[in-house]
Amino acid sequence: MKVYAKIRQNGEYHSQNISQAVYGFREMGAEIVRYQKISDIYESVTKEDIVLDYITQVEMILKKFGVVPACEDYPVELRKFMGRNVWKDTINSINTHPEKWGVFVKPVKSKAFTGHVIRSSKDLIGCGSCYENYEVLCCDVIAPKMEWRGFIIYDELVDIRPYRGDYHYHFDAEVVDQIVEAFRTIRERPMGGSLDFAVIEKNGKLQTVFLEMNDGYSLGSYGLVPIQYAKLVSARWSQLLNRTDEFDFRKMR
């Protein structure tokens, strides 16, 4: 198998995430192939390979093999840990009913637009399309004191990294353990991905909550050590392409 890594014209890797993943894969003995354009490698990539690129390009490669990744942001099994309500609506309904504003909105369809809080009509700019009435997920607005990204490899939480916020706050480890345990009950869960957590203040008390789940086929590293990051990417690619994971060393423990 080969790991294809996108580079710039000056020869540097195209992003810090790609650079970190390459370091991890190289440490595990993988063959690294550098490229500039996805069209340069499209025909050469096989189901045994991994491509380190941006989301659109990675999905193009996966689609070549008939794979369309699916990963719920707010799985039903984890909603009880969210500390807020979640419901579905359509962007046209949000647009035409100002009484529905004041909520966080993100598209069910990946990449239709970036999720954000709708407080006024200007927040709706770029959210709609005259051709499609996007289905959206709506959430109550919260104000996290601190956010973290928890990295999952084969059902194990291997690390938690600070995402943004005030370092004086810390998550409740028992709640995180409960969230991870509930994650393991999700039937179509990613073998490589992340769970985001936050501390919020609710009814005058601090509470650790689940924010969202993220797929791992093209996930930011956020400080995860390179070898673990590479293993996470490999785990998800192997799951999606239904192949043996060459970098799953659990059986060697």
Residues 143-165 pLDDT 10s: 999 999 999 999 999 999 999 99
* pLDDT at 128 (0 to 100): 67
Distances in whole angstroms, Cα of residue 253 to Cα of each of 121, 141, 225, 230, 232 = 56, 44, 19, 18, 17
* pLDDT at 114 (0 to 100): 78
Name 148's bridge partners.
162, 197
Q: Specify the pairing of strand 31-35 against strand 2-6.
A: parallel
Q: Where are the alpha helices (DSSP H) in the chain?
A: 16-27, 38-41, 55-64, 91-96, 173-183, 226-240
- Reported as a pLDDT band with limits 50, 70 and 90, residue 111 is low
Is the domain spanning 70-83+142-216 CATH 3.30.70? The answer is no
pLDDT over 70 at 20, yes or no: yes
Number of CB atoms found within 10 A of residue 3's CB: 23
Please provide the average confidence, as pLDDT, over all residues in the chain.
Answer: 94
- pLDDT tens track for 181-196: 999 999 999 999 999 9
Q: By percentage, how much of the chain surpasses pLDDT 70?
A: 96
Q: What is the mean pLDDT of residues 60-80?
A: 95
Name 135's bridge partners.
90
Given CA atoms 132, 137, 142, 148 in this order, what sign does their dihedral have? negative
Specify the higher pLDDT residue, 37 or 218: 37
Q: Are 76 and 25 in contact (CB under 8 A)?
A: no
